[in-house]
Chains A and B, each alone.
Chain A
């Protein structure tokens, strides 16, 4: 779906934002692009969506070179959720969706009410202007805009930002549902939980370079010390022991009365990110 080879980009002569990125995104994959602010995530997404021009290297989308790909047909096949909910504040969610969807072929479109219902949009707000919406409601209306054209390739920038925990869970379910439909998702985020739960593969980007690219599980395994922490009771006292996973194969290798919990020492995706890039995501 997306093939990027040696992608470079400079805003000014002295300010190179991307230093030769290489990655591919397969059809029907959720690909996570993780990096701190200013790492080159948005620049990459803007190049892929045709907003920024003048890059170096080779980029192809839908099997076509990017210069030939950015046609009206291309824009009909993509959906983009921006980092901020860009909507007409004086129009309602329904009127915004009516307007933005009017540029797509009718046969491609989903029903406005159907999409908003899927996003659990409050019915009372359907006809009210966006200016009266909360951050979460705006994010839902923006997501509806990205989904309404049934895109084959979905670019999502911080999809769960501004949502409460139940909203974030709902959005993750919807993204997963899109993947099951065959939609390819390019997910740009700081949110490690989103990346961990949703992405087939993730790329860590920092200072315009990809530092690591693999499945979240592999990345975590690579950084793991393969130990478990066992919390147990023995003669009325609560104790804790760290042992290697291989030692567990023959059973618990020490005397105990009761096992309270066994916790793997597996690092989080954020730990791995810091390990690779030397800094956190925020």
Chain B
């Protein structure tokens, strides 16, 4: 049995290599890493708006280093003409007057508060310290978690279905029906290879974007959550690929999953949008499980793990059923 599994794994590896799956995963890894390190973090670190100050008398004494001084009223107008998002402060009369191009009401209020706050950067800060993550590290963990979830839920799901559709179109699944091997090994091999591939991806993505030191402490929990998500998505991909007629039908299912399943989860977990029903969304709990693992507070709720295992068991039974059906199909 072990020998048969090895042959199946070897063949699945070849299928994935020929389907450029590993190359695609590597490409995504590079893309995500570049995005996190050279895009997202810099963007998150950037000042919200450029603030320009015209203060010929030097009336403002506690100005933040983020504020750029201009030499004349004309220079202030000229710079705001170029940087329409920027906020100007004209302190030539002794009292700071705000000058900026009108945007939306909420954004304008925010811009005004932000610009004025920079005139007194050491003002009273009464916020309570509740965590030891620096804003950058927090941002890194958040985005790494989102990208990993997206990679497994959407890209990995698409990958396993693509491999299976290829085998389905070649009819070779039917040949396995008459080979002297345990038929479940065919499914097990695919699950194993996609699970290993997802775990390797999770390790690399976390090390490259969260850093080695932090990764060491959170990795076991992250890998556990990755494994649960990976198995659920791989089994869903197998069911869809075996059940649906062709790749075109599958892309519709894929769109449904990508848009209607992932979007509310991301919105609810990462933005101010609150959806009352989100606690009934199974992927929300899986995403939060992964996020909590990244922030060093992994879930210990037995119900959550039982739910995941039950989902895996149900999906596995479904895969076995549709796999049997596929083997018995006409050519």
Contact = CB atoms under 8 A, between A and B. Distances in A.
Interface of A: 42, 46, 49-52, 72-76, 78, 80, 82-84, 86-91, 99-100, 102-104, 145
A89 B170 contact: yes
Given A99-B11, A103-B7, A84 B179 contact: no
A52 B328 contact: yes
A91 B13 CA distance: 12
Contacts of A52: 328
Interface residues of B, number: 23
9 contacts: A50-B177, A51-B177, A72-B181, A80-B175, A82-B174, A84-B171, A86-B175, A88-B15, A100-B175
Contact of A104 (B174, B180, B331): B180
A2 B7 CA distance: 32
Contacts of A89: 170
Main secondary structure of the interface of A (DSSP, over half): loop
A207 to B, nearest CB: 17
A152 B330 CA distance: 25
A88 to B, nearest CB: 6
Contacts of B3: 102
Contacts of A73: 180
B10 to A, nearest CB: 8
A208 B123 CA distance: 90
Contact of A87 (B170, B180, B330): B170
Contacts of B15: 88, 90
Contacts of B175: 80, 82, 86, 100, 145
A42 B172 CA distance: 17
Contacts of A83: 331
A233 to B, nearest CB: 53
A88 B172 contact: yes
Contacts of B4: 102-103
Contacts of B328: 46, 51-52
B37 interface: no
A91 B14 contact: yes
B4, B167, B170: most-surrounded residue (chain A CB, <10 A): B170
A84 B18 contact: no
Nearest to B167: A88
A78 B180 CA distance: 9
B170 A86 contact: yes
B178 interface: yes
Interface string B169-190: 0111011011111100000000
B1 to A, nearest CB: 9
Contacts of A82: 171, 174-175, 331
Smallest CB-CB A-B distances: 10 pairs: A86-B171, A75-B180, A102-B7, A72-B180, A84-B331, A90-B18, A76-B180, A80-B178, A51-B177, A103-B179
Given A75-B179, A90-B15, A104-B180, 17 more contacts: A42-B330, A51-B327, A51-B328, A52-B328, A72-B182, A74-B180, A75-B181, A78-B178, A82-B175, A82-B331, A84-B171, A87-B172, A90-B14, A91-B14, A100-B179, A103-B181, A145-B175
Given A42-B330, A90-B18, A51 B11 contact: no
Contacts of A84: 171, 331
B180 A88 contact: no
Interface in B277-330: 327-328, 330
A100 B180 CA distance: 10
A99 B18 CA distance: 16
A17 B230 CA distance: 41
Nearest to A73: B180
Contact of B178 (A42, A50, A87, A88): A50
Contacts of A91: 14
A103 B180 contact: yes
Contacts of B181: 72, 75, 103
Interface string B140-182: 0000000000000000000000000001001110110111111
Contacts of B174: 51, 82, 86
A46 B330 CA distance: 10
A103 B178 CA distance: 11
Contacts of B182: 72
A73 B179 CA distance: 10
Contacts of B171: 82, 84, 86
A88 B331 contact: no
Contacts of B331: 82-84, 86
